[in-house]
């Protein structure tokens, strides 16, 4: 029997959702009452019940009671650093090709959201090594990961320190950089990635993206970097009234993906004609050779 098929127990987290779609993430504590302006719900009435029930508040309002998905947990969990939202985490898992048994190094650990996705993806046969410079952020990440994944994860190493000080005993299949200055880790990543390994950077601004891309190009040890962002728009579907919602999840960050070449090889340079002034005097970043 899977963990998800067991009955709700004290200490479990559940998501309560009212008829208008408002969600609350709570922990089942015996003897406690969850209060809303639509009445209270005794948590004792939920313990011992199956996942996916409907509970009625003292005010007569029905609430869906269901265990949260990781995507629900990530956006509601306590935060230190900003979290990588589910839409970007999903892209990272796919375009970086995180697979069972992989060794993934990430920096920084942030609040532990992406770490949880990575640990699930690599499975018990894989490894995730997370670096976080701030001890307080590392503590929050550790608590969040272990709370959702139910305890310590033997295949996870959390290190408080600088990524470039990594002295592991195995090369990495994937390196994920979620930091302000990922371009400073390109040379380091080239030294730890296996040939064909993936380097992925998550950055917030166009200037960070541009500097990282140009640094990768100048290094000559990686394939041509690919940069993208993801937009998510939900739809309203009600009978014949089918239309996009007025709100959408727009820009959160950019993803840049590149792959490690075998030592001694340089990727064929792609023919591209930069726009006039693309590398003018005002440009302060690295320049491709030959420009």
Contact in structure between 209 and 254 (CB atoms under 8 Å): yes
Domains in the chain: boundaries: 3-68, 72-259
Residue 244 binned pLDDT confidence (cut-offs 50, 70, 90): very high
pLDDT of residue 36: 87
Identify the CA nearest to 183 among candidates 226, 206, 228, 216: 216
Average of per-residue pLDDT values in the chain: 91
Q: How many CB atoms lie within 10 A of CB 74?
A: 23
Q: What is d(CA 121, CA 232) in angstroms, rounded to the nearest whole number?
A: 22
Average pLDDT (205-214) is 96
CATH number 3.40.50.150 given to 72-259 = yes
Segment 70-110, tens digit of pLDDT: 999 998 888 888 889 899 999 999 999 999 999 999 998 98
**Helices and strands per DSSP (H, E), number in the chain:** 6, 15
3-class SS at 28? coil
Look at 47-61, 83-97, 225-239, 272-286 and tell me which has the smallest mean pLDDT.
Answer: 272-286
Contact in structure between 210 and 261 (CB atoms under 8 Å): no
Residue 1 binned pLDDT confidence (cut-offs 50, 70, 90): very low
Segment 4-36, tens digit of pLDDT: 568 999 999 999 999 998 999 999 999 999 998
Percentage with pLDDT > 90 across the chain: 77
Whether the pLDDT of residue 235 is over 90: the answer is: yes
Whether the pLDDT of residue 291 is over 60: the answer is: no
pLDDT of residue 78: 85
Q: What is d(CA 246, CA 55) in angstroms, rounded to the nearest whole number?
A: 31
Fold for domain 3-68? Vcp-like ATPase; Chain A, domain 2 (3.10.330)
């Amino acid at each position: 029997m899977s963990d998800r098929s067991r009955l709700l127990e004290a200490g479990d987290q559940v998501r309560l959702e009212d008829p208008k779609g408002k969600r609350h993430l709570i922990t089942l504590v015996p003897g406690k009452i969850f209060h809303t302006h639509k009445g209270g719900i005794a948590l004792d009435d939920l313990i011992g019940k199956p996942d996916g029930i409907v509970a009625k508040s003292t005010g007569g309002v029905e609430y869906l009671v269901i265990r949260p998905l990781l995507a629900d947990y990530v956006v509601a969990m306590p935060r230190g650093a900003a979290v990588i939202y589910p839409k970007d985490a999903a892209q990272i898992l796919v375009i970086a090709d995180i697979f069972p048994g992989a060794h993934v190094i990430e920096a920084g650990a942030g609040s532990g959201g992406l770490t949880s996705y990575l640990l699930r993806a690599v499975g018990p046969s894989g490894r995730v090594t997370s670096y976080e410079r701030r001890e307080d952020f590392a503590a929050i990440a550790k608590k969040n990961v272990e709370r959702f994944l139910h305890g310590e994860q033997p295949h996870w190493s959390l290190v408080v320190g600088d990524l470039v000080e990594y002295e592991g005993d195995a090369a990495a299949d994937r390196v994920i950089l979620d930091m302000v200055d990922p371009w400073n880790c390109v040379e380091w990543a080239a030294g730890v990635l296996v040939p064909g390994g993936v380097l992925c950077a998550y950055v917030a601004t166009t200037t960070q993206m541009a500097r990282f891309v140009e640094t990768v190009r100048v290094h000559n040890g990686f394939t041509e970097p690919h940069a993208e962002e993801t937009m998510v728009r939900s739809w309203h579907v009600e009978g014949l009234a089918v239309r996009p919602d007025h709100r959408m999840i727009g820009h959160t960050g950019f993803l840049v993906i590149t792959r490690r070449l075998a030592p001694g090889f340089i990727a064929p340079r792609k023919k591209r004609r930069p726009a006039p002034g693309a590398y003018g005097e005002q440009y302060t970043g690295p320049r491709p050779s030959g420009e």
